[in-house]
Amino acid sequence: MDKMTSKQRVLAAAEHRTTDRMPITFDAEKEVFDALYQHLGLRTREELFDYLHVDTWMVLPKNYIAAPGQEQHSDKMSIWGWKTVKVEYGGGSYEELGWSPLAGKDDLSDIDRHLWPEPKVQDFSHFVTEIPAHKDRAIIAASSWGAYFITSFLRGMEDTMMDFAGNPEYAEKLIGTVAERILAFEENMLNQPGAEGIDIVYMADDYCSQRAPLFSPETFKRYCVPYLRKVVDLAHRHNKKFLLHVCGAVRPLLPMIIDCGVDMLEPIQIRAEGMDPMALKRDFGKHICFYGGVDLQQILCQGTPATVADEVRRLMDILGQDGGYVVGPGHTYIQVDAPIANILSMYKTAHEHRVAGRA
């Protein structure tokens, strides 16, 4: 098979076609980037991605979640109105939810009174230069999280679950109001100068724990399927693929996710309930492209370079058979407890291994 560009490789996988080699993706916590730069003597993301043979490139609005002027603050206000606080842990930090503006506000009028973000609050001005600069890679762009995910931050997880159980009118109004905004954000992004170079629209919308979905498939169908179908359809009308991020045990929801037209699923957390890669490939591999898969809970952080290489080959042989797989971390961001030697083994193996029956 002739050598492909990174863009061709990823889009072929999304369409379940075989490729010259398995397409590769990468993302990590900032501290992991810094450690790899220092270890490899590199300075830029471009140099690192070239070294690791990464085929994707993510572009985000400058104020993707944080409100304008908040990006460098330790405690931030989001464009949606919730607040986060910076929490330190061994080796780095996370932004944890600190305040939900609609928590405890149970009247429908509270939704109307909330200060909602304007459709053009986000800054995409860099797209016109950044996207062409990486045109040989598959360009993945995101304008917003999903409506459920945003609702859980605005309302708080406890109130959101209680709404699903006992206050459906409130849940529908809140998720519907959020969905109107995320569709406006997506439309705005896809009409920006440079957006013609976007290949894949990305949305994170975590519905699941490691053991099961956080709510029933019936609840998912009622509250989430309507807006998921709309954001996917919008991407398809602009001739883009759609990549959905859902951590954890998403298998019970996959038939509906596929029916909504989702092309690609990230991150394939194989230690979650029902997420055995062989069963996923058997039951859903003809309908959705798997993206990620390499376990961060035990293999990448606790294994050796040899066990990491064995696992990468195993996943590629299963999920990559007959196309439909982009190899990468089984959580969007490689964490700080992953040894550098294991990360390098993962990417060396992903680049070199060839699945039986492929080029």
Write down all domains in the chain, each with its CATH number in brackets: 6-352 (3.20.20.210)
What distance in Å separates the CA atoms of residue 104 and residue 156, rounded to the nearest whole number?
9
| 18-34 tens-digit pLDDT | 999 999 999 999 999 99
Task: Give the pLDDT score at 358.
Answer: 54
- Strand residue runs (E) in the chain: 56-59, 76-77, 83-89, 92-99, 138-141, 200-204, 241-245, 264-266, 289-294, 325-329
pLDDT at 335 over 60: yes
Q: At what angle do helices 147-155 and 157-166 cross, to 10 degrees?
A: 110
| 249-294 tens-digit pLDDT | 999 999 999 999 999 999 999 999 999 999 999 999 999 999 999 9
Work out the pLDDT band at 37, boundaries 50, 70, 90.
Answer: very high
Bigger pLDDT: 67 vs 177:
177
Name the percent of the chain lying above pLDDT 90: 92
pLDDT at 133 over 50: yes
Task: Give the pLDDT score at 359.
Answer: 45
Task: Give the pLDDT score at 89.
Answer: 84
**What predicted TM-score, i.e. pTM, was given to this entire model?**
0.97
Name the percent of the chain lying above pLDDT 70: 99
pLDDT at 35 over 70: yes
pLDDT at 71 over 80: no
| Closest-CA residue to 101 (of 120, 119, 79) | 79
What distance in Å separates the CA atoms of residue 120 and residue 146, rounded to the nearest whole number?
17
| Closest-CA residue to 287 (of 319, 255, 315) | 255
Bigger pLDDT: 93 vs 173:
173
Task: Give the pLDDT score at 357.
Answer: 61
